[in-house]
Structure 1
Amino acid sequence: MKLSIKPEKLSRVFKKHHILGLPFSASFNEFSAPDTGDPHDHPFDFITHIVNGGYTERIYKIDEFGNVIITDVERKAGTSHFVKATDIHQIIHLPTGHCVTLMVPQSGHVRATCFYRFIEGKAYSRLWNKRKFMPVSHANTI
């Protein structure tokens, strides 16, 4: 089968380039600015390989009491990272102003993508296709 690339523009600063014709799913993800939207999770587990540029990722953990723990992690070019579908995160800094990653899914669809807001240390979420944010309970973050 012939390889091809199908571009998908997800926002002004985020483009996905689906690699078609491989025996597995993969895409190049191209970031030209930090993620200024709400933090999010993903519909599946994946491995991301930082091809160029790197980024600082803000990771949000919600404890059993609904409290939010925030950690910033630098991801450098040439490194790879496993991301669970339930990991809440956002890219907050691009040290070179541009980043390219190779994303390879590690599971099928696990969940619907959610967006999150954190107000006074508590977490609220909404499904990607809904508008209303609801309080997060520990049970729905596992």
Structure 2
Amino acid sequence: MKTTFEKELRKLFDHDALFDDARFVGRSCYGRLDGDLRVQAQFISLSIQSQFDALKISLLNRKEGVVDTAVLRFDEVWGIKKTANPNFREGVHPHLWQDGNELCWYVYQPTPADFETLSGQVDGYLAVFRDQELSSGLRQSL
């Protein structure tokens, strides 16, 4: 049975477009960037324990450990989202909310376009670390 974390991570990484061999374990997604570089992606809470309002991307060297980490805040990537809910006239900061055993998007449900935007941000970050020959080959084939 897939968890909500896994379902949401699959929307971003299940297609092997950003990195190869995506594997989903618990609250994380792992994959291979190139050589000994691996990627770990997970939803994290930056301020309130039960509100997951960012995506943390870590680059791991199989032999040496953590190489670098980036945190992509949803409100910085997507902005504050307007909603028809009268309780949020100014909009809502997008986040997954955990209430007991239930985890869901709070008030605003990200659209496929939102996930595409987030995916583009992840890709931009990973491009810094991709093997240059691999990146050049990808650009030439496009």
TM-score of the two chains, using structure 2 as the length reference: 0.24
Structure with greater proportional strand content: 1
Instruction: Indicate the structure whose relative CO is greater, using CA pairs within 8 Å and at least 6 residues apart.
Output: 1
| The structure with more helix, counted as a fraction of residues | 2
